Structure 1
Amino acid sequence: MERIRVAVIGTGSIAKHRHLPEYASNPNVEIVAVCDIVPERVKEIAEEYDAKAYTDYKELLAKENIDAISVCLPNYLHAPVSIAALSAGCHVLCEKPMATSREEAEAMIQAAKENNRKLMIGHNQRFVSSHQKAKALIDQGEIGKIYSFRTTFGHGGPERWSAEGEDSWFFKKDQAFIGAMGDLGVHKADLIRYVLNDEITEVGAFVETSAKDANVDDNACFILKTEKGVIGTLAASWAYTAAEDNSTVIYGEKAILRLEDDPKYSLVVQYTNGDVVKYELDGIQSNEEGGQSTSHVIDHFIDSISQDTEPLINGEEGMKALDIILGAIKSVESKTIQTLEK
């Protein structure tokens, strides 16, 4: 088969560490072009991947024959650039959160349908081995009825990871829209829906800016209720200064599942009869040193194009995770529990 011609728009850290290396290692991909408003950065990346460099994504879309685009830009640009790429006939892999409003997300989904193109959102936590194994155990009835859960995603902050360091767009409300709950919380919002095979119907939230000099949240805590009546908590933070925490614990009738909660065993199952089963699986993706193993997102996206299958995290799935975050924002503003749209 002919290789899929790919361009990456935005060459900051997520593109540099995840998208570009994973495209480069996929034999079915040719990296044709890269785009960034910082000329020196895009020139260096273009030379590394033998691609054409652009500083204007509209020019790239007009001049190049591209099959698929990765959108690795600040959050406020996700929707307009994704829609432009879809309208130009490209399949799109967009970073999370997919948009800054439900209207934007719906417009992205509509653009994908109108142009008969794939739209995938980069929620990489679904591809983590412990998460997939936990979902399988729950689906098989191994855990019985689910009673509760707690899930968290926190690290020391995006300045350690972002290309701009402390001047990162992550801290600027006009570009980021929201802080830790958009950067990290939306991952766990997607994950808990996926693993439990259940929809979040109600959300209450508190947010604070206590650890960073920023005008977005750096600590967020949600209380969530699902369609099946399961209640649990979600925490997202840029204030876990000593180490990253990416753990999820699910409390069930027959067992407790501990995901990414043990330094050696990525899944520990504690049964009510006293048995403990420890699974030593592939490690979770991390921003810490040595945490850059493949995310499987790129390979899945490319497979969905070449095999003409629906991506696991399509626009509708991405919007459901975004809805939880938007509900949390409304909860903070109104100091009430929010019921989510179906």
Structure 2
Amino acid sequence: MNKIKVAIIGCGSIAKHRHLPEYKAHEFVEIVAVCDIVAERANGFAKVYEAKAHTNYEELLRDSTIDAVSVCTPNYLHAPISIAALQAGKHVLCEKPMATSRGEAEEMISAAERSNKKLMIAHNQRFVPSHKKARKLIENGEVGKIYSFRTAFGHGGPEGWSADGKDSWFFRKNEAFIGAMGDLGVHKTDLLRFLLGEEFVEVGAFVETSAKENTDVDDTAVCVLKTESGTVGTLAASWSYVSKEDNSTIIYGEKAILRLEDDPVNSLIVQYQSGEVVKYELGGIQTNEDGNQTSSGVIDQFVNSILHNIQPPVTGEEGMKSLQVVLSALESNETKRIIKL
């Protein structure tokens, strides 16, 4: 089987910690090019991965030997670069949030359809073992009717993770478009849609900047969400958690409560109505801490969809639905109304 020739556009932390090492580890992938506007960064990764360095993505996309690209740039560039790559005949794995508007997301989806190439959005939470197991338990009816949920994703902020620290694009609205809600919250809107197996129909939100200075994006958001069947719950996304990262989700059902990534040892704890408690050690969730990088599963899924010509598990349409919840949360905060999706 021929190896898929891959290029990475944007050589920041997500490329460094996830995309590059996971492509490198894949037996059917060859990293052939990297691109970053910071030449030093592009050259550094090019040397490590024996790839060609670019500082201009349009030049990179003219290389007809490249089969697929990862788009790991600041958020405002996700759509234009993804669309250009699809038009150039490349498969695209785009980081989240996929776009800064519904219109952009729709353009990305159209470009993928016209080019007949794969478009996948890098929502890695679907592939976390505890999350996959919880979905099965819900699907199998073991939890019964879902009454409510709460989910949180918070840490100390991008300055501890981003390649540019406190000077990161994450803090500039013209590049990031949205803060913690787009960085972390969109992961959880996607996870909840995946776990519950239904769409959200109403959103109310408070979106604030309370912890960070010299920024025009949000760092703390709390949303109330309602699904088609009437399940209600909360989602919190924050860059203001000064201690350990919180990446937990709790599902409250008729027959059981599921605690996901809520315990340091057991990644899933099921508390049944009968009093029985079942604990699962299923392996960790990805964190931003060095030395704690497990495989995200995203790269494997993307490559698999290309190799076997199947639909990727997180399509552009799926990415857009998860983005729409975040866009509605912003609208709710601005209008002080509950937004119907």
Residue 309 of structure 1 corresponds to which residue in structure 2?
A: 310
Instruction: Name the TM-score, length of structure 2 as normaliser.
Output: 0.99
Residue 327 of structure 1 corresponds to which residue in structure 2?
A: 328
Residue 301 of structure 2 corresponds to which residue in structure 1?
A: 300
Alignment-mate amino acid for residue 142 of structure 1: E
SS in 2 for 1:223: strand
Alignment-mate amino acid for residue 168 of structure 2: S
SS in 1 for 2:7: strand
Residue 132 of structure 2 corresponds to which residue in structure 1?
A: 132
Alignment-mate amino acid for residue 328 of structure 1: A
Q: Within the alignment, does 1:27 sit opposite 2:24 as a pair?
A: no
CA distance in 2, matches of 1:33, 1:47: 10
Residue 93 of structure 2 corresponds to which residue in structure 1?
A: 93
1:301-330 per-position Cα deviation (integer Å, ceiling 9, x unaligned): 000000001011000000000000000011
Q: Within the alignment, does 1:107 sit opposite 2:95 as a pair?
A: no
Aligned residues: 340
What's the offset of the Cα at 1:63?
3.1
What's the offset of the Cα at 1:207?
1.0
Q: Within the alignment, does 1:43 sit opposite 2:43 as a pair?
A: yes
What's the offset of the Cα at 1:289?
3.4
Matches within 5 A, 1:1-342: 1-213=1-213, 214-340=215-341
What's the offset of the Cα at 1:288?
1.8
1:49-106 per-position Cα deviation (integer Å, ceiling 9, x unaligned): 0000000000011135210000000000000000000000000000000000000000
1:232-283 per-position Cα deviation (integer Å, ceiling 9, x unaligned): 0000000011110000000000000000000100000000110000001010
Alignment-mate amino acid for residue 216 of structure 1: V
CA distance in 2, matches of 1:292, 1:82: 26
Alignment-mate amino acid for residue 233 of structure 1: T
Identity of aligned residues (%): 67
CA distance in 2, matches of 1:293, 1:174: 32
Alignment-mate amino acid for residue 311 of structure 1: P
SS in 2 for 1:215: coil
CA distance in 1, matches of 2:316, 2:223: 23
Quick check: 287-296 or 314-323, which moved more?
A: 287-296
RMSD of the alignment, in Å? 0.6
SS in 2 for 1:291: coil
SS in 1 for 2:62: helix
Unpaired segments of 5 or more residues in structure 2?
none
CA distance in 1, matches of 2:113, 2:288: 34
Alignment-mate amino acid for residue 262 of structure 2: D
CA distance in 2, matches of 1:64, 1:19: 21
Unpaired segments of 5 or more residues in structure 1?
none
Quick check: 265-274 or 281-290, which moved more?
A: 281-290
CA distance in 1, matches of 2:315, 2:198: 17
Instruction: Name the TM-score, length of structure 1 as normaliser.
Output: 0.99
Alignment-mate amino acid for residue 125 of structure 2: Q
CA distance in 2, matches of 1:258, 1:211: 28
Alignment-mate amino acid for residue 294 of structure 2: S
